[in-house]
Amino acid sequence: MTKTAVITGATSGIGAAYAKRLAADGYDLILTGRRQEIIQKLADELADKHKIKVKVLIVELSDDNDIQKLIDTVTSTDDMEVLINNAGFDPDEKHFMGMEFRDVERMIKVHQIVPVRLAYAVVPKMEKRRKGTIINVSSAGAFLPSPNIVIYGATKSFLKMFSESLYMDLREKGIKVQVLCPGLTRTDFHRGLPEERYQKISSDFHWMTADQVVDYSLKCLKKNNQPICIPGMRNRLYSALIPVLPKAIYYRIALKKAGA
């Protein structure tokens, strides 16, 4: 029986690592990205190596026509078994008024509207087969309110809440839901940052690779099917401690870390 996985943002990093793993498991793939040459090369390699079908959609996920193109492709694919809502970007957001409002809207579309629309499109197909997996890639930042990531953190926190609720809603229907919350991961994600800001982040030694993050995500799915999956011991520790810290203490620490 054929099975298809759709992965948004599969050009590089975490999305590309999922694509490699699912291709090796025999899934046909629908991959989205914008850097055409890079994603097409990955698609050709995976199709050739694993004898699977790989469709590439070059889509800007804040553009309504492109979003519709993706939704149409997904709804016309009957054997849809895995959805990975992974596409996302780093806004180099220093404070709330530091972003143009059109970029705020773009981020809300890419990080919130698109994942919800895609889930809405695939769930009926998964329900019919009584089988499916939805992974929403959030961030460890979803647990860490910060004056430096007002919009990014809020959109990722939405994904966490959405996923946990969806997990409960769909658990009797054979559909697994995971929210993956990675910490710092070496990918192309930070490539747009000014050198000075990148150096500041880079000096942090708790980085993971995209392969490690995806390995952990797939392990979480197999092991316990709990919705929240946090790769990395330090990230798990923070996410457990922060909700129980008195707020006033947390805000002081977060402001200090942000250099505010």
The C-alpha atoms of residue 225 and residue 205 are separated, in whole angstroms, by 29
- Judged by CB under 6 A, which stretch of 59-67, 92-100, 169-177, 235-243 contacts ligand NAP? 59-67
CB of 195 vs ligand NAP, minimal distance in Å:
17
If the CB atoms of residues 27 and 189 are measured against ligand NAP, the closer one turns out to be: 189
CB proximity list for 155: less than 8 A, separation 6 or greater: 107, 108, 111, 112
Q: What binding mask, one character per residue, do residues 202-241 give for ligand NAP by CB under 6 A, x or -? A: --------x-------------------------------
User: 112 to each of 86, 119, 137, 142, 154, how far by Cα in Å?
Assistant: 11, 11, 11, 13, 10
**Using rule CB under 6 A, residue 35 touches ligand NAP:** yes
Catalytic residue, chosen from 152, 167, 198, 238, is: 152
The three-point CA angle 113-61-76 to 5° equals: 85
CB of 125 vs ligand NAP, minimal distance in Å:
23
CB of 232 vs ligand NAP, minimal distance in Å:
10
**Start-to-end C-alpha separation, the chain:** 56
- Judged by CB under 6 A, which stretch of 31-39, 48-56, 224-232, 236-244 contacts ligand NAP? 31-39
- 120 is an active site residue: no
Q: Per residue in 9-40, is it b (16+ CB within 10 Å) or e — as a string?
A: bbbbbbbbbbbbbbbeeebbbbbbbeeeeebb
Helix (H) or strand (E) holding 222: helix 210-223
CB of 180 vs ligand NAP, minimal distance in Å:
8
CB proximity list for 41: less than 8 A, separation 6 or greater: none
- Judged by CB under 6 A, which stretch of 7-15, 42-50, 92-100, 216-224 contacts ligand NAP? 7-15
**Using rule CB under 6 A, residue 56 touches ligand NAP:** no
Closest-CA residue to 26 (of 8, 53, 45, 7): 53
Residues 175-194 that bind ligand NAP (CB under 6 A): 182, 184-185, 187-189
Q: Are the C-beta atoms of residues 152 and 112 closer than 8 Å to each other? A: no
Rounded to 5 degrees, φ, ψ at 97 are -85, 5
Q: What binding mask, one character per residue, do residues 67-106 give for ligand NAP by CB under 6 A, x or -? A: -------------------xxxx-----------------
If the CB atoms of residues 10 and 52 are measured against ligand NAP, the closer one turns out to be: 10
Residues that bind ligand NAP (CB under 6 A): 9-15, 33-35, 59-62, 86-89, 110, 137, 139, 182, 184-185, 187-189, 210
Provide the annotated active-site residues.
Answer: 152
